[in-house]
Amino acid sequence: MSKQLKAVIVGAGSRAMQYASHAQQHPEELKIVGVVEPIAVRRQKAADLYQIPSQHCFQSTDELVQKSRIADFVINGTMDQHHVPTSLPLLKAGYDILLEKPFATSEEELWQLVNQARQCGRKISICHVLRHTPFYAAIRQQLINGAIGELINIQAIEHVSYHHMAVAFVRGKWGKTAFSKSSMLMAKSCHDLDLIAWMNSGIRPTSVASFGSIFQFRSDKAPEGHGTRCLVDCSIEENCLYSAKKHYIDHPDRWSTYTWDTVSSTKEMTLDEKINSLKTDSPYGRCVWECDNDIADHQSVAIEFENGSTATLNLVGGAAKGSRKLHLIGTHGEIEGSFEDARFVIRHIDPSPGNEYSEKIIDTTRYEDTTGVTGGHGGGDLRIVPDFLRVLRGEKPSISSTDIEDSINGHLIGFCADRSARENKKIEISSSQ
């Protein structure tokens, strides 16, 4: 039987609780023995679920680290701006960390955490969960096998659906950089930047150029007849694509973890209570053109690597259908696929008479069927946890496994891309502090 490891939840929100759920499915591998959460209701929910004794329930990491180490590692699912401040004392206290992305909100924070991990000799795995999906892992394996020769160019696309854009990056807590400290590029497409760096693993990015802006979700773009709150003073709500009623009442479960999972009560809200909240104090009841959002709703990034290869990422918020696509072009062929379709095609150059290229379709749903793993991000949310447990046990991890050192390049690309967009110039990427 595998050695059971013990963990403390830090930040008992939806992300950390998702990762912690591995303890419910595989108690022989993982036991949750503590929780750090400033909000009493969330703290108690976690304590009740995992039968955590009161002496192991804390309001802050400072309280936790004042005690002798009670677990092998920490699942840190705090908000972006709290990742580094909470992780630094945990490292000093001897904890390894499974840390939500982005692991920092600036280059300065990045190097602060990386250097602390190096000094303490602790393991930090960043939750780049898309690496752990069958789709992206299979593509990476094809590159390792040399399927398309030397990589020349990477083209990544992320289209964020209109309802995801509205709930998270306009009305929600990632809509204002003063709160989360992260741009949309880092909060949402940190995954995609990591995938680009991973596909070109071992090749250092050297420069980046980027353009982006708030194109759509601003007051001067508002349609005639709009109000400030959808259910209060809007004359076009019935036909509006971004009606709060359509998004959160007609689709009550789609974004319930954002809109309806309150932190002050364990009682489920009634329909009348939900409607009243949208009319009064809920940020999700606001008109999308009259919010205080200040993050770019679309951004394009161009990257150059030290060997001359290049990559692009196009992030667009407000698409009819949310999607991710990847196209890799090598010296002997190419790989092109859609994450949502869970399949990709490998094309090889074929100069034989009557041909141009050959094609082979790889359907990664068959990998999902055999593993039996489900969950968010194509199953990546739940695959990352057992992989990190293997690392801590000294076993061989999967090709998807990532520690903080592997995550540096993807983060640096993002921070420099945002700087490029702000300063309207090409930015050289430094590989050291």
Per domain, the residue ranges of the chain are 5-126, 130-217+293-428, 225-285
Query: 43 near 35, Cβ under 8 Å?
Result: yes
Has residue 267 got a pLDDT over 50? yes
Sign of CA dihedral 170, 172, 177, 178: positive
Average pLDDT of the chain? 93
pLDDT(339) > 90: yes
Whether the pLDDT of residue 370 is over 80: the answer is: no
Mean pLDDT of 359-380: 64
What is the reported pLDDT for 369? Answer: 38
Where does the pLDDT of residue 314 fall: very low under 50, low under 70, confident under 90, or very high at 90 and above?
very high
Q: 346 or 432: which carries more pLDDT confidence?
A: 346
| Average pLDDT of the segment spanning 16-25 | 94
Strands (E), 252-332: 298-305, 310-319, 323-330
**Does the pLDDT of residue 380 top 70, yes or no?**
no
* Pick from 86, 68, 69, 88: nearest CA to 77: 86
Separation CA 49–CA 202 (nearest Å):
42
Average pLDDT over residues 412-424: 97
CA distance 323 to 320: 10
Euclidean distance between CA atoms 151 and 330, whole angstroms? 4
The DSSP letter of residue 307 is T
Per residue in 63-74, pLDDT (tens digit) is 999 999 999 999
CB 165 within 8 A of CB 317: yes
CB-based contacts of 100-104 (< 8 A; 24+ apart in sequence): 100/11, 100/15, 100/16, 100/76, 100/126, 100/127, 101/126, 101/127, 101/128, 101/190, 101/191, 101/194, 101/407, 102/182, 102/186, 102/187, 102/190, 102/411, 102/414, 103/404, 103/407, 103/411, 104/411
Residues 378/393, Cβ–Cβ less than 8 Å: no
User: Does the pLDDT value for residue 264 go beyond 80?
Assistant: no
Q: How high is the pLDDT of residue 179? A: 85
Window from 168-172, 179-183, 284-288 with minimum mean pLDDT = 179-183
**pLDDT over 70 at 303, yes or no:** yes
376 phi and psi, to 5 degrees?
-65, 160
Residues 276 and 284: their CA atoms lie apart, in Å, by 12
Residue 263's pLDDT is 47
Asked whether the predicted pLDDT for residue 398 surpasses 80, the reply is: yes
Tokens 């949402």 appear where? 188
CATH H-level superfamily of 5-126: NAD(P)-binding Rossmann-like Domain (3.40.50.720)
Q: List CB contacts of 40: < 8 A, sequence separation 6 or more.
A: none
List CB contacts of 351: < 8 A, sequence separation 6 or more: none
Residue 216 has pLDDT above 50, yes or no: yes
Taking the C-alpha atoms of residue 279 and residue 271, their distance in angstroms, rounded to an integer, is 12
**Residue 279 CB-density burial (10 A; 0-12 exposed, 13-18 middle, 19+ buried):** middle
Report the Cα 414 to chain-centroid distance in Å.
Answer: 13
Is the model's pLDDT at 28 over the cut of 50? yes
Report the share of the chain in percent with pLDDT over 70.
94
Cα–Cα distances (Å) from 168 to 10, 178, 329, 373, in that order, read: 22, 15, 33, 27
Q: Report the pLDDT value the prediction gives residue 265, as an integer from 0 to 100.
A: 54
Give the per-residue pLDDT at 372: 43
Which band of pLDDT confidence, cut at 50, 70 and 90, is reported for residue 2?
low
Q: Do domains 5-126 and 130-217+293-428 have the same CATH topology?
A: no
- Residue 90 is encoded by which pair of tokens? 């945990």
Confidence of residue 268 (pLDDT cuts 50, 70, 90): confident
CA separation (Å) from 272 to 231, 249, 278, 392?
A: 13, 10, 10, 48
Categorize the per-residue pLDDT at 424 as very low, low, confident or very high, splitting at 50, 70 and 90.
very high
Query: Whole-angstrom Cα distance, residue 418 to residue 25?
Result: 40
pLDDT band for position 379 (50/70/90)?
low
Residue 18's pLDDT band, with cuts at 50, 70 and 90, is very high
Pairing of strands 151-161, 310-319: parallel
Q: In this predicted model, what pLDDT tens digit does every residue of 90-146 receive, in sequence order?
A: 999 999 999 999 999 999 999 999 999 999 999 999 999 999 999 999 999 999 999
Q: What percent of the chain has pLDDT over 90?
A: 86
> What token pair was written down for 46?
């976690």
CATH number of 130-217+293-428: 3.30.360.10
Q: What is the mean pLDDT of residues 79-100?
A: 96
